[in-house]
Amino acid sequence: MVTVKLFGTLRLDSGVREFTAEAASVKELYPLVLREIRAKKADTAVTERSLRACLVAVNGEQVSPRAKLRDGDLVYLFPAVAGG
């Protein structure tokens, strides 16, 4: 079981902050994230493609979207941001 948190405009668009899922890799996670989002917001504009474009961090460190996951991992998904 991993915990997934969404950030940035992805969170505002989906209305999903956090949920738990069974996934062995980030790749496996994408359809589960989309399902969670659609359950909350059926008419969401978020797609699996837009999820794949997000940056991924596991346990606080940025990782490749191909990274494997372990039980208890904390996964962040967030679109790129700038400007300060």
Partner 1 sequence: MTNYCGYMGKVVLLDLSTGKAENYIWTDLDREKYIGGKAMASKILYDSLTGKETPFSPENLIVIATGPLTGTGAPSSNRFDISSLSPLTGITSSSNCGGNFGHYLKKAGFDALIIRGKCERPTWVEIDNGEFRFHDAASLWGMKAGETQEALQKELLAEHGKPVRCGMAVIGPAGENLVRYASVISGERAAGRAGMGAVFGSKNLKAITSAGDAVPSVFDKDKALEHHKRWVSYIRSHPLTGEQLPRLGTAGLVSSMQVHGLLSTRNYAKGRFEDFEAVSGEALAEELNVSNSGCLSCPIRCTRRVPVEGKTVKGPELETLGLLGGNIENRDLELLCRWNYELDELGMDTISTAGTLAWAMEANEKGLWKNGLSFGEVDGLSQVFDDIAHRRGIGAELAEGSKRLSEKYGGKEFAIHSKGMELAAYEPRRAVGQGLGYAVANRGGCHLNGGYLVVLEGLGMNVNGQTPRGKADLCMIMQDLMEAISMGGQCLFTSYGVVPAFMIRNPNGLLAKTVNAVVPWIGPAVRVLNKAPEIACFQLFLLPYTYELNYTVGMKMNIGKFIRAGERSYNVERAVNARFGVSAENDKLPKRLTDMPQDPKRPDTKVPLEQMNMTYYRARGWEKNGLPSEKKLRRLGIR
Residues forming contacts to partner 1 in the complex (CB under 8 A) are 7-9, 11-12, 17, 52-55, 57, 60-62, 64-65, 76, 78-84
> Which one, 23 or 76, has the nearer CB to partner 1?
76
What is the three-class DSSP state of 75? strand
Q: How far is the CB of 67 from partner 1 (least distance, A)?
A: 11
Pairing outcome for strands 2-6 and 18-21:
antiparallel
Tokens read off for 55: 């940056």
> Which one, 11 or 38, has the nearer CB to partner 1?
11
Please say whether the beta carbons of 76 and 11 come within 8 A. no
